[in-house]
Amino acid sequence: MRKLLNDRGIRALRPTAAQFTVWDTLVPAFGIRVSPGGRKSFVVMKRPAGKSRPVRITLAPPRPKLNLQAARALAEATVRRLAEARDADSSARAPAP
């Protein structure tokens, strides 16, 4: 499910029998995962450039450790790092002159 995440909406999320993720519409690949036990964690799921399988990175649980704005900024930085990983990887494999 995709929706614009906000603090009130995150507090309103209730656990179900199965784990689920609500993806943010503002920052692609960023969401909040809710476990059956009620634990909530900010996550990023993105396919690294040049890889066939996406990776899920758990950022942290919401509040008090990490608020939504800080989690979005961290998610954007994480997505950039995943994109840059290919650039670093391809330059490392470039043939020597």
| Domain count within the chain | 1
Stretch 77-93: mean pLDDT: 65
Instruction: Judge whether 40 lies within some domain.
Output: yes
Residue 12, classified by CB atoms within 10 Å of its CB into exposed (0-12), middle (13-18) or buried (19+), is exposed
Q: What average pLDDT does this structure show over 15-27? A: 95
pLDDT band per the 50, 70, 90 thresholds, residue 52:
confident
User: Considering the domain boundaries, does residue 8 fall inside one?
Assistant: yes
Q: Is the pLDDT score of 53 beyond 50?
A: yes
Q: 43: domain range?
A: 2-88
**Phi and psi at residue 85, to the nearest 5°:** -60, -35
- CA distance linking residue 70 with residue 89, whole number of Å: 28
What is the model's pLDDT at position 64?
Answer: 72
| pLDDT at residue 94, as a whole number | 37
Query: Is the pLDDT at 14 greater than 90, yes or no?
Result: yes
In a domain, 46, yes or no: yes
Mean pLDDT of the chain: 83
Q: How far apart are alpha carbons 74 and 78 in whole angstroms? A: 6
DSSP 13-50: ----SS-EEEEESSSTTEEEEE-TTS-EEEEEEEPPTT
Tokens 């040049």, residue? 50
pLDDT of residue 86: 57
Compare 1 and 24 and report the one with higher pLDDT: 24
In a domain, 93, yes or no: no
Please give the average per-residue pLDDT across 58-72, as a whole number: 84
Indicate which CATH number applies to the domain containing 65: 3.30.160.390
